[in-house]
Amino acid sequence: MGTALSVNSGQGVLGGAFAGLAADGALLITPASGVQQTVTFGDVALVP
């Protein structure tokens, strides 16, 4: 938890910290705003 990553969904890039996986398998990410987002598709990359 907390690993920095970015997700490119084709509609933009969302960066934040890994917050886990939802019950349906979706990625949970917490961006700098602090409001947790649910991501169901996109290219995920770890941020060094």
The predicted-structure confidence for 1-48, as pLDDT tens digits, reads as follows: 889 999 998 889 999 999 999 999 999 999 999 999 999 999 999 998
pLDDT given for residue 38 in this prediction: 95
pLDDT given for residue 1 in this prediction: 83
pLDDT given for residue 35 in this prediction: 96
Q: Which domains occur in the chain, in start order?
A: 4-46 (2.30.30.100)
By CB atoms closer than 10 A (0-12, 13-18, 19+), residue 29 is buried
Sign of CA dihedral 14, 20, 24, 30: negative
